[in-house]
Structure 1
Amino acid sequence: MTNRRSFIKKSLLGTAIIGPTLSHMACNAKGDSKIEEKHKPLILSTWAHGMPANDRAWEVLLSTGDVLNAVEQGVMVTELDQSNLSVGLQGLPDREGIPTLDASIMLGDGSCGSVGFVRQIKHPISLARKVMENTPHVMLVGEGARQFAIEEGYELEEEKLSPRANEMFQDWKKTSKYKPIINIENHDTIGMIALGPDGKMAGSCTTSGLAYKMHGRLGDSPIIGAGLFVDEEVGAATATGLGESIIRICGSFLIVELMRQGRSPQEACEEAVRRLISKNKNIDDIQAGFIAFNKEGEFGAYAVRQGFNYAVHHYQGQNLIDSKYKLT
C-alpha cells in the first residue's frame, strides 16, 4: 500500500507540470498532426485494439508501479480477443492452416526475451517474458519454444482454428494466392510501449503474423530491434505492418538511435519510414507504421500510408489518433 501511495503521489506531482493535452492537436487532410506535449507516465500501443489493451496496462501501472507487468498484461487482453484475427491463437493461420505466434518483451535496461513460430500457447507474451527471466537466451522458436513452455508449466491449447479464421481459411484455399492487403491483413501486431513516472520503460509486441504466410515464417515482432526496442537512456519504439519491410531497416532500433542523436520521436519515426520506403520494392503493397516516445515523455508516430492509428493513454485522458503518413 505504501509503494502504491508513493507511486500515485509521484505521478500526480508529475502531472502538475505536464503541458497541454491532446485536445488542441490540429489535423490536416493528410492526417498530419503536431504533437508537442510531454507525459509521464505514458502508454502507447498500435491500432484500435490498443485502446482496451492500454486500459488494462494503465490499471496495472497505477496499482503496481511496474511497467513490465503493465505491458505484459496489457497485450494479453488482445491475445484473448476472439474478434481479433491477427493476434492470438484465434488469428488467421499460415498456409498450412496452423496458427503460429510470435512475441517479444523488453525492459529499458536491455533485458529482453522473445518467442517465434510457437504453437498452442495462449499467451506468447508471457512465454517471451519467461525466456527473458528464466533462460540465458533472448529468443526461442518453434518446437524448442513449445518444449520450454511445457517445462514452465504452460498448458498446451487444442490446435484448431477459431470459427471465423477457419471460414476465411477455407475461402482462401479456393485460390491459395498470397498478397498483402494494405490496412487489413497488415493489422498483424499489437505493439505497446510504456514510460513510468520514475523513467522506467518497457515494451511488448505480440502477433499471429501475416495471414497465410509460409509455414515457419517470422516477422519483425519477435526480433529485438526490428519490431521493438527500448532504452531508458533514450526512449522506446515499436512497429506494425509488413514485418519483412521493418526487418530490413531494423526499424525500432533505428528510431531509438535517431532519438539518441537528437531527433524528436516524430522526426525519428518519419525518417524510419523514409528509410523503409527506399529499401523495399513493391512499396504499393506495403503498409508499416511506427510509434515512439523519448525519456521526456514526448511521443510521435508515422506510417507509410494512410490508415494506421495508435492508442495513447496518460493522465489527461486516452485517445485513438490517426497517424501522419508519407504516401497518399
Structure 2
Amino acid sequence: MKSRRKFLKNTALGTFLLGGSFSLSAINRSRESEKATPDSAVNKTVNKPVVISTWRNLAANQAAWEVLAKNGSALDAVEAGVKIPEADPDDRSVGYGGRPDREGKVSLDACIMDQHSNCGSVAFLEHIKHPISVARMVMEKTPHAMLAGEGALQFALENGFEKENLLTEKSEQEWREWLKKSEYKPVINIENHDTIGMLALDSHGNLSGACTTSGAAYKIRGRVGDSPIIGAGLFVDNEVGAATATGLGEAVIKVAGTHLVVELMRQGHNPQKACELAVERVISKNPDYKDLQVGFIALNKQGECGGYCIHKGFSYAVFDKGNNRAIDSDSAVK
C-alpha cells in the first residue's frame, strides 16, 4: 500500500513539474513575442559605417568619417571627431574659446563610452584643450569612471597634456560685457547650444560615443551639467544603440535622458521615436519647458538615426554612404 501511494505521489509531482515546465516555456515565448518592434518591422540590412553629431558639426563628422572609412573603430572616430570643435576658438561652447563661468574661468566637461560599456569622464577640468582625450585616458588607464577638478587636471598633466589658457580675447570681451548686468538668462539655442555629442557605428558593427562641452555660459563656478555624466549626456549599449544630448543639462539629468532613449530603443522603438518620447518625458518633468531647450540624437545597431528637441532651432549632422549633411530637427513646440 505504501509503495502504491509513493508511486501515485511521484506521478503527480512529475505531472506538475512537466506542466510547470510547459507553462514556463509558454511564458518565455510570450515575452519574446512582446519584443517585436512597435514602430516597424525589423530591418535586417545594416547601414554602416555611420556618424551622427549634434548641431551642424560637418567638419567634426568629416574627421570621424576619415577614421571609419579606413575600417577604424567607432571609439577612435568619435574622439577624432569631437576634437575638431574642441580646438576651434570660434566655437564658443566647446573647448578652447568656450564661454567662461561668471568668474571668467573656462572649465570643461567630457565623457566617452565604447562598445564594451567601458567609460571615462572628466568634469570641471581647466586649462586642457582636449578634455575628451583625458576622459578616454581615465577610461583606459584608471580603475575609475570620472575624475574632477584639480584631480582631473593633475592626472592630465601627469599624462603628457599641456596646460594652457583657454579663454580667448573674444570670449573674455563677451564675459566683461555680461558683468555689467550679471543676469543669468540663457538664450535658447545660443547659450544653451553648449555641447557636441557624437555617436558612431563602425564597419565592424560596434558603437561608441563622445560628448564634450564648456558648459552653460556664465554658470556658477563649479557647475557641472549632463555632458560628462554617463546615462545623462551620453549612453552606449552595443546590443541596442547609443544616444547623446544637448541643451540644458539640469533638465537632461532629471530624466537620465540618454539612458532613457536607449532603453526606449531596447523596447523596440526606432531612434526617431525614442528621441521624441524622451523629449516628451523632459517636458512632463519641467513645467518651465518653454524657457529651455533640450535635444537628443540617437543611432541604433541597424545604422538608423533620429533626432528631436523641445523648440525649433536644434540641428544635427549625419555622415553615411559618403554623404555628410546637416538636418534641422523636428520639435515638440512648433
TM above 0.5: yes
Structure 2 partner of 1:165: 171
* Largest Rg, 1 or 2: 2
How many pairs were matched up?
291
Structure 2 partner of 1:94: 101
Residue-by-residue CA offset, 1:80-126 (whole Å, 9 max, x unaligned): 11111000131100011100000000012100000000000010000
The one of 292, 303, 310 aligned to 1:286? 292
Structure 2 partner of 1:175: 181
Taking structure 2 as the reference length, what is the TM-score of the superposition?
A: 0.85
State the alpha-carbon separation in 1 of the partners of residues 59 and 281 from structure 2.
32
Residue-by-residue CA offset, 1:256-311 (whole Å, 9 max, x unaligned): 00101111111110000000001113212110100001111111110001000000
Q: Which amino acid counterpart does residue 246 of structure 2 have in structure 1?
A: T
Contact persistence 2:49–2:69 (CA under 8 A): no
Structure 2 partner of 1:303: 309
State the alpha-carbon separation in 1 of the partners of residues 204 and 73 from structure 2.
10
Q: In the alignment, does 2:55 pair up with 1:43?
A: no
| Unpaired segments ≥5 residues, structure 2 | 1-42
State the alpha-carbon separation in 1 of the partners of residues 292 and 237 from structure 2.
28
Q: Compute the displacement of 1:64 (Å).
A: 4.9
Secondary structure, aligned partner of 1:109 = coil
Structure 1 partner of 2:282: 276
State the alpha-carbon separation in 1 of the partners of residues 287 and 167 from structure 2.
33
Q: Which moved more, 1:38-47 or 1:216-225?
A: 38-47
Structure 2 partner of 1:258: 264
The one of 89, 94, 97 aligned to 1:82? 89
Contact persistence 2:71–2:203 (CA under 8 A): no
Q: Compute the displacement of 1:225 (Å).
A: 0.4
Q: Which amino acid counterpart does residue 208 of structure 2 have in structure 1?
A: A
Q: Which amino acid counterpart does residue 42 of structure 1 have in structure 2?
A: V
Structure 1 partner of 2:144: 137
1:207-226 to 2 correspondences below 5 Å? 207-226=213-232
Structure 2 partner of 1:22: none
Q: Which amino acid counterpart does residue 222 of structure 1 have in structure 2?
A: P
The one of 57, 77, 90 aligned to 1:70? 77
State the alpha-carbon separation in 1 of the partners of residues 122 and 142 from structure 2.
12
Secondary structure, aligned partner of 1:150 = helix
Taking structure 1 as the reference length, what is the TM-score of the superposition?
A: 0.87
Q: Compute the displacement of 1:316 (Å).
A: 4.4
The one of 55, 60, 67 aligned to 1:53? 60
Q: In the alignment, does 2:190 pair up with 1:184?
A: yes
- Which portions of structure 1, spanning 4 or more consecutive aligned residues, are displaced by more than 6 angstroms? none
Structure 2 partner of 1:33: none
Residue-by-residue CA offset, 1:224-267 (whole Å, 9 max, x unaligned): 00000011100000000000010100100000001011111111
State the alpha-carbon separation in 2 of the partners of residues 81 and 151 from structure 1.
25
Secondary structure, aligned partner of 1:63 = coil
Q: Compute the displacement of 1:136 (Å).
A: 0.3
Residue-by-residue CA offset, 1:60-80 (whole Å, 9 max, x unaligned): 122352111110011000101
Contact persistence 1:38–1:299 (CA under 8 A): no
Residue-by-residue CA offset, 1:17-56 (whole Å, 9 max, x unaligned): xxxxxxxxxxxxxxxxxxx9962110000001x2100000
Residue-by-residue CA offset, 1:136-166 (whole Å, 9 max, x unaligned): 00000001100111111111113x6201101
| Unpaired segments ≥5 residues, structure 1 | 1-35
Q: In the alignment, does 2:162 pair up with 1:152?
A: no
Secondary structure, aligned partner of 1:252 = helix
Structure 2 partner of 1:128: 135
Contact persistence 1:44–1:194 (CA under 8 A): yes
Structure 1 partner of 2:19: none
Identity %: 57
Contact persistence 1:89–1:101 (CA under 8 A): no
State the alpha-carbon separation in 2 of the partners of residues 161 and 41 from structure 1.
36
1:238-253 to 2 correspondences below 5 Å? 238-253=244-259
State the alpha-carbon separation in 1 of the partners of residues 167 and 322 from structure 2.
40
Structure 1 partner of 2:114: 107
Structure 1 partner of 2:35: none
Q: Which amino acid counterpart does residue 217 of structure 1 have in structure 2?
A: R
What is the aligned-residue RMSD (CA, Å)? 1.3
Secondary structure, aligned partner of 1:188 = coil
